[in-house]
Structure 1
């Protein structure tokens, strides 16, 4: 018995974890720099290299497109600050799921988890993996598109490799994230320098009438913001891993203050460079704006841009897998998913079953040929639940005014963010009614699932036995134990 106690004490000292009869906790290994790298690394993915086309298409002019990019960054910054209050008031991993649960209860939180589990997270990961595969294979096939089978196999292999890294060691994850964040920033630096050179030699013709062709229709403006905010998506991912962040009360807001202005500045300058070199028609006819830019400016060295875009998406996928797996881990710990998903590897203290489960769903979506059409659906759904989280912040100011709030933003910020999100949720309804309808329908499908799997308290004995056998089998297969759920951190 004494030897066992000494072993447990050593594990606690060395791994910053707690080992008890009820389970273990994941380690607090993420520093401020790691937090910044996760936010920047997840946000700067494929979006900035391809989505300027969508912003310009719906806004109609170069001037309005730049305004959308600036306001999208500002809106993301406001949202991130609001989430900093939520993240320090409710210091649990899981992001929106934890906040909606705290504010509005189990059913709305489950509906968010339901959508995130099958649509938001795996679809985003699948698209990022496919984009990585397309760009890394492009130099091999030249002007011809890479074969479907080759792209999907490479995307699937990449997803599996990054899942293994995430299962093995959190430090490996952050090292990969740091390296590829630096790589993608270098790629954007090349674009910016080339744009500055083009301006210096006298090319400013695309800015002579910047507001020409502006589309002032509210629905199209909202869709332009969807494209812009898609490139900023990931600003709330650090809230998914609050439990693993060192001193989160200080490092969470600091990471936001550092990363969001950096990303916004980089995005705006990069878009100015695009608009200086490429005409409106060039951008609208391009499938990958960064590659079109490189073909025009880099000449024989244009091949490096697909490589850098591939590096960018690789790092973004790594960060997304790391952060989003914690969402399902927390959902399972709360009883909204099979308990097997909240098991933790006894040696490495990583949520292996959650990572494997998410990997499997992503692999299924990678195989779907038209997976890109899901972007339109998930943009609306994601905006809807972010709106719900911010409404929860305002609601808890009234219902729980005495709660500990190490960070308390001015009430103007969440109200502004809520009004803006309501605009983004409402106005696309008449421009894209089918996509909005499908998104709402999928959310509503989660209601009967909730009552059948969670609300039904008197399940048959055989069904409960099946769930228990499944959980025990996963624990043995992955060498995992249940996580502690009494406290999240001291």
Structure 2
């Protein structure tokens, strides 16, 4: 009997939809409120999204070179292992399994449930179904868990099932966002646009919910930009998920790099355009003080009236459903590759009859569900923003290392703008991380400590491997 192996069945459109679909979750509908409070003006709101888009695009076109060199499952884990050593690769894989991917799956699942509550109030996160000690479980958390289990099951049935959901839902939410942008510009309020884009449009300041303003000194201003970018970077993250499923993509040496560029460019255009719409419909004060930070609902109310709330709720349900499918589909391939290197549970290295890593999918599901129950997924995402960008920086430094280490390895695609653009990303990424250490130490230091816990786990895995 033949051993199941990955089947290349995803084309360029499917790969691009995985990039875009994994990026677009609930963030674009929410985080502009916090960004506005940190930067205080329309100009700087757009600059934050442009800076994030630039960083994402540079990283994506840089990863194209790595995906061409190593067109196999595992993506960033493989790149870090090859550029540095297995320990660095493992530290990424451990962080990815324990918080990065599973925490994002949990957060996106709960976002799905929270916006479902607009249509079905009985699943509100403000209702307590039961308590376990100090832990209070809401219907929203239960619905999030059901969603994660359902999508995990669908993805154990083969790559085709996940592919159909991903492409369908991503195309739907892209069309919905383009609709919001088009109708938003049609409904643009000239007085509000003029108010937001004249006078203090380029003033960097803290805008409180009550409308009061606090000025920044130079150092504090830099910290405010970094704090603001936590939200936009979270909203733009997971673009690299397509590299994890390289073994299932047709012509991966070409299509992975191209899908990274097309997907991140498309999402960047959508995100920046959406924020222009916000500034044309709502005063900056209204963006900063939107109820529960739901800026998109406030904007949609201006465009569509009372039905706008329902429209945005449905859009976010579609968006988060498709986003979580992409995250679940791609994440398990990292654990599969680690297990093949003897650095994860042995059973994770097995594919089922449908040629997918079912055990890896289910243990990922278990951790994500536990994070849903913890109620701490928001803190986890803030905590890990620092770690995520550090690993991106390390991976892009790896391009320089591999040019020296493996000069003769085939590179079907070379990093665009090398060495200037990759170096620019490294500088921007390190600046972002340094500012977070200074201005958000509670989150970043714990995130770093958690990632470094992987060091003893790595040597434990090696010891276990040598005994078997």
Q: Does residue 275 of structure 2 align to residue 271 of structure 1?
A: yes
Q: CA offsets, 1:233-289, max 9 Å, x none?
A: 122111111111100122122213322221111111110001111122212222211
Structure 1, unpaired ranges of 5+: 1-7, 9-18, 465-490
Residue 128 of structure 1 is matched in structure 2 by 108
Q: 1:425 aligns with which of 433, 446, 451?
A: 433
Residue 184 of structure 2 is matched in structure 1 by 195
Is residue 55–residue 65 contact of structure 1 (8 Å, CA) maintained in 2?
yes
Q: 1:392 aligns with which of 398, 404, 421?
A: 398
Q: CA offsets, 1:344-385, max 9 Å, x none?
A: 012x11111110110011111111123211111110111111
Is residue 97–residue 327 contact of structure 1 (8 Å, CA) maintained in 2?
yes
- The within-5 A match list for 1:28-427 is 28-141=8-121, 146-148=126-128, 149-199=138-188, 203-204=192-193, 205-209=195-199, 210-214=201-205, 217-286=221-290, 287-302=293-308, 303-346=310-353, 348-409=354-415, 410-427=418-435
By how many angstroms is 1:330 displaced? 0.8
Q: Cα–Cα, structure 1 residues 186 and 256, in superposed 2: closer, same or farther, change >3 Å?
A: same
Is residue 343–residue 353 contact of structure 1 (8 Å, CA) maintained in 2?
yes
Report the TM-score, using the length of structure 1 for normalisation.
0.86
Structure 2 counterpart SS, 1:91: coil
In 1: Cα distance, 2:312 partner to 2:189 partner: 22
By how many angstroms is 1:413 displaced? 2.0
Q: Cα–Cα, structure 1 residues 343 and 458, in superposed 2: closer, same or farther, change >3 Å?
A: closer
In 2: Cα distance, 1:259 partner to 1:451 partner: 37
Residue 443 of structure 1 is matched in structure 2 by 451
In 2: Cα distance, 1:100 partner to 1:178 partner: 29
Is residue 58–residue 223 contact of structure 1 (8 Å, CA) maintained in 2?
yes
By how many angstroms is 1:173 displaced? 1.0
Query: Cα RMSD (Å) of the superposition?
Result: 1.9
Deviates more, 1:223-232 or 1:72-81: 223-232
In 1: Cα distance, 2:377 partner to 2:87 partner: 28
In 1: Cα distance, 2:464 partner to 2:25 partner: 41
In 1: Cα distance, 2:434 partner to 2:267 partner: 27
Is residue 125–residue 140 contact of structure 2 (8 Å, CA) maintained in 1?
no
Structure 2 counterpart SS, 1:30: coil
Structure 2 counterpart SS, 1:158: helix
In 1: Cα distance, 2:441 partner to 2:23 partner: 28
Report the TM-score, using the length of structure 2 for normalisation.
0.90
By how many angstroms is 1:201 displaced? 5.7
Q: CA offsets, 1:49-82, max 9 Å, x none?
A: 1111232222232101101111211211110011
Is residue 152–residue 367 contact of structure 1 (8 Å, CA) maintained in 2?
yes
Structure 2 counterpart SS, 1:426: helix
In 2: Cα distance, 1:81 partner to 1:199 partner: 34
